[in-house]
Amino acid sequence: MKIVFLAPFGIRPKGTVLARMVPLAAELQGLGHKVVIVAPPYTNPEDSGKAETVRGVMIRNVKLARGGKALAAPVLAVRMLRAALAEKPDLVHLFKPKGYGGLAAMLHLFMLRDTPLFVDTDDWEGRGGMETLHDYSFLERHLYRLQEGELPRRAVGVTVASRMLETLVRGMGVPPERLLYLPNCVENVPVGDGEAVRRRLGISARTPVLLLYTRFFEFDQEKLHTVFGEVARRVPGVRFLVVGKGRHREEELLAAAADRNGFADSLTVAGWVEPEELPDWLAAGDVAIYPFADTVVNRAKCPAKLTELMRAGVPVVADRVGEIAEYVVSGESGILCTPDDWQEMAVRVAELLREPDLRKEMGAAGRKRILTHFAWGDAAVRLDMFYKALTGKGNDTK
């Protein structure tokens, strides 16, 4: 089949396109389909109107429209739909039922096109969801709620990235046969060269390193400061490595807390790391923490960063919230903590840092679990069967 994926934004710098859409598209092409991603590159405007190939997948960045959001939105939506239909697809799959892509999908439905529409959702956008983290206007908030409520109901099929989203979409009246649980997965790539990063940072192979790979907004910053401070007290000589960038200068809050609590000399904040270098940085950690507040947003999410940490072979101490419990078998492939018990996370991290053999065993078990049970190749096979069951089409390309 010829398949068009409608992206929610451009390929840089956000992660959804690279972490979810591209690997899934590549695996579908390995099954004999042809996949094209149509993207509105407002996050990377330098690519406006350009086409590029990533891992064998064609990405068509539509030309951006002039004017503010209100003026540009209908123009960009029309351009996305035209670009999609120009491919003469057998089906269109919208990723995230919101924004420009969501408008293009709404136009598609309004025009009563014969091309089947599928919808993928990997976040809860509406009430209590992602809208609580963004300064949306009144119109944007209500548009996104409308799109999230209507598009899954009207689609031929819906893919969801978490069990909570599965429950929420079923609550919209979508029957089980039109719903596919499709969590974020990984590809089998080698573990990175963590020793190279350690040498660059002047950290010896024997020094215990606690890793945080994050965008900061998923947890209480005071919790992070408390956990780091307590681990510093319990594990002499520990180093803290933070990979990722916050939205609201959370790094400065962490640096101030490090000064107050006496671990400033042990803290390294790497910031945003190029994707091709990321495996090496993750492999530099001995133990990783994954704090995750018990909120609607987090319960609905499918944390791709957690899958990358597990693939890196780093044992993860995480909060038992939402989809995390689908990935981590506590005590075997990682450790799960009560999200409101900050002290528990610090204690379990300290225990692992003091037990080199145990953390290596747990890290290896985590990597084995993620590669065995959450592989993009297997996910693509399930999606292929889902497409065929709901469209009655094979995978002949045009």
Domain contains 397: no
In the prediction, which pLDDT does 379 show?
Answer: 98
Domain contains 99: yes
Give per-residue pLDDT as tens, 269-280: 999 998 889 999
In SS3 terms, the chain reads as CEEEEECCCCCCCCCHHHHHHHHHHHHHHHCCCEEEEEECCCCCHHHCCCEEEECCEEEEECCCCCCCHHHHHHHHHHHHHHHHHHCCCCEEEEECCCHHHHHHHHHHHHCCCCCCEEEEECCCCCCCCHHHHCCCCHHHHHHHHHHHHHHHHHCCEEEECCHHHHHHHHHCCCCHHHEEECCCCECCCCCCCHHHHHHHHCCCCCCCEEEEECCCCCCCHHHHHHHHHHHHHHCCCCEEEEECCCCCCHHHHHHHHHHHHCCHHHEEEEECCCCCCHHHHHHCCCEEEECCCCCHHHHHCCCHHHHHHHHCCCCEEEECCCCHHHHCCECCCEEEECCCCHHHHHHHHHHHHCCHHHHHHHHHHHHHHHHHHCEHHHHHHHHHHHHHHHHCCCCCCC
Domain contains 396: no
229 and 369 assigned to the same domain? yes
Domain contains 114: yes
If one counts the domains in the chain, the total is 2
247 and 266 assigned to the same domain? yes
Mean pLDDT of 209-215: 97
pLDDT of 71 higher than 80: no
73 and 88 assigned to the same domain? yes
163 and 309 assigned to the same domain? no
94 and 203 assigned to the same domain? no
pTM (predicted TM-score): 0.93
Give per-residue pLDDT as tens, 1-48: 999 999 999 887 767 788 899 999 999 999 999 999 999 999 899 999
pLDDT of 89 higher than 90: yes
153 and 250 assigned to the same domain? no
Residue 76 pLDDT grade (very low, low, confident, very high; cuts 50, 70, 90): very high
